[in-house]
């Protein structure tokens, strides 16, 4: 199979029929073998009924329905799990991403050898606050990750199949998938300008809470990417440094008391600085040790409750 198109959706009943027809037309014109995987993230507007109807009319359309709303990362994770195409394309269900971009993205993966190609919505049709926050996070992510992309969070992306099988998308980390791909060992990351349309149906899911969540996610992905599998390297290092600083201060004060007969040590700020440094250093070291134990025994983060599937082959974990 040439292409798997993974589309997370939440309350998009008006658009998914039109989107599926658009995708089918593009695939037929380019003679691609394909599948479209709609992942219904707990919609309550009849979206799943529409997916079921589409799957009976077109054998290339498949569906997954979550029992409740888990978020876009969960949808992408499960879509990646079932995707069988050589190239996996992701896009949003609101018709703002154009399926006409699929052939070019496919050829950049197959012919040019990219591991992932991220869309760049150079001209965006989004609210002002969303554009401003997006620019801020894209700039911050470029600085942290050293990946030269303009639009990390663009929903329209293309991947090699082996790439999506090698990363674990959870929480709200879908914003930083290129960073996760890089830290998974795939270094050929490309970008392509894509057309972005105004929203035709429904309302945007963007809220001000995403401003805070995005910043926290950036810190999380930066830490997890570097130290997720070896937390002792971070906590243990700084714990040891702080403990040694506190120990040196304590040794100095002990020397002063014994040889220079300096008394009333508890009235000196340096005494409390050394005490705090040793206590915090010990706690950081223990945190790293506990983190190592947890990282070696943790279960899969992507155990989502799938209510049912439509037209999908079962997979074994």
On average, the pLDDT of the chain sits at 86
Q: Is residue 133 part of a domain?
A: yes
* Domain's final residue, options 180, 209, 227: 227
Give how many domains the chain has, as a whole number. 2
Please tell me whether residues 138 and 274 are part of one structural domain: no
Q: What is the pLDDT of residue 302?
A: 52
The least confident of 156-160, 161-165, 292-296 is 292-296
Share of the chain above pLDDT 70, in %: 85
Q: What is the pLDDT of residue 303?
A: 52
- The Cβ of residue 283 has, within 10 Å, a number of other Cβ atoms equal to 14
Q: Average pLDDT of 198-224? A: 68
Copy the structure tokens of residue 177.
């998938």
Please tell me whether residues 144 and 284 are part of one structural domain: no
Q: Is residue 302 part of a domain?
A: no
Whether residue 141 has pLDDT greater than 60: yes
Q: What's the CATH number where 99 sits?
A: 3.90.550.10
> pLDDT tens-digit profile of 57-70?
999 999 999 999 99
**Whether pTM exceeds 0.85:** no
Please tell me whether residues 150 and 129 are part of one structural domain: yes
* Domain's final residue, options 189, 205, 227: 227
Q: Is residue 26 part of a domain?
A: yes
Q: What is the pLDDT of residue 245?
A: 95
Please tell me whether residues 256 and 214 are part of one structural domain: no
Q: What is the pLDDT of residue 12?
A: 93
Starting at the earlier edge strand, list the strands of the sheet with 189-193.
Answer: 189-193, 116-120, 157-160, 87-90, 3-9, 34-40, 61-66, 306-310
Distance CA 226, CA 69 (A): 30
Please tell me whether residues 175 and 244 are part of one structural domain: no
Q: Is residue 308 part of a domain?
A: no
Whether residue 266 has pLDDT greater than 80: no
Which of 93 and 171 is assigned the larger pLDDT?
93
Q: Average pLDDT of 69-83? A: 93
Q: Where in the sequence is the domain holding 103, given as residue range(s)?
A: 3-227
Please tell me whether residues 110 and 179 are part of one structural domain: yes
Please tell me whether residues 20 and 72 are part of one structural domain: yes
């Amino acid at each position: 199979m040439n292409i798997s198109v993974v589309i997370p959706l939440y309350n998009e009943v008006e658009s998914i029929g039109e989107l599926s027809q658009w995708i089918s037309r593009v695939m037929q014109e380019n003679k691609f073998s394909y599948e479209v995987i709609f992942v219904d993230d707990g919609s309550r507007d009849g979206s799943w009924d529409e997916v079921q109807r589409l799957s009976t009319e077109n054998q290339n359309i498949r569906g997954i329905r979550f029992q409740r709303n888990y978020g876009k990362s969960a949808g992408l994770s499960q879509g990646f799990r079932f995707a069988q195409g050589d190239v996996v394309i992701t896009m949003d269900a609101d018709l703002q991403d154009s399926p006409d971009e699929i052939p070019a993205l496919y050829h950049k993966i197959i012919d040019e050898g990219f591991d992932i190609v991220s869309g760049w919505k150079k001209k965006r049709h989004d609210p002002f606050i969303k554009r401003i926050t997006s620019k801020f996070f894209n700039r911050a992510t470029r600085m942290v990750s050293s990946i030269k992309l303009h639009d990390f969070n663009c929903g329209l992306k293309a991947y090699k199949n082996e790439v999506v099988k090698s990363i674990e998308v959870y929480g709200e980390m879908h914003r930083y998938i290129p960073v996760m791909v890089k830290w998974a060992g795939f270094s050929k990351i490309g970008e392509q300008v894509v057309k972005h349309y105004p929203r035709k149906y429904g309302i945007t899911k963007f809220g001000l809470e995403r401003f805070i969540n995005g910043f926290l996610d950036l810190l999380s992905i930066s830490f997890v990417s570097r130290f997720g599998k070896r937390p002792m390297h971070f906590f243990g290092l700084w714990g040891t440094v702080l403990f040694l600083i506190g120990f040196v201060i304590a040794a100095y004060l002990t020397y002063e008391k014994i040889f220079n007969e300096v008394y009333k040590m508890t009235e000196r700020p340096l005494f409390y600085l050394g005490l705090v440094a040793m206590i915090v250093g010990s706690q950081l070291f223990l945190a790293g040790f506990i983190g190592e134990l947890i990282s070696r025994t943790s279960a899969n983060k992507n155990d989502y409750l799938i209510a049912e599937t439509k037209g999908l082959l079962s997979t074994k974990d």
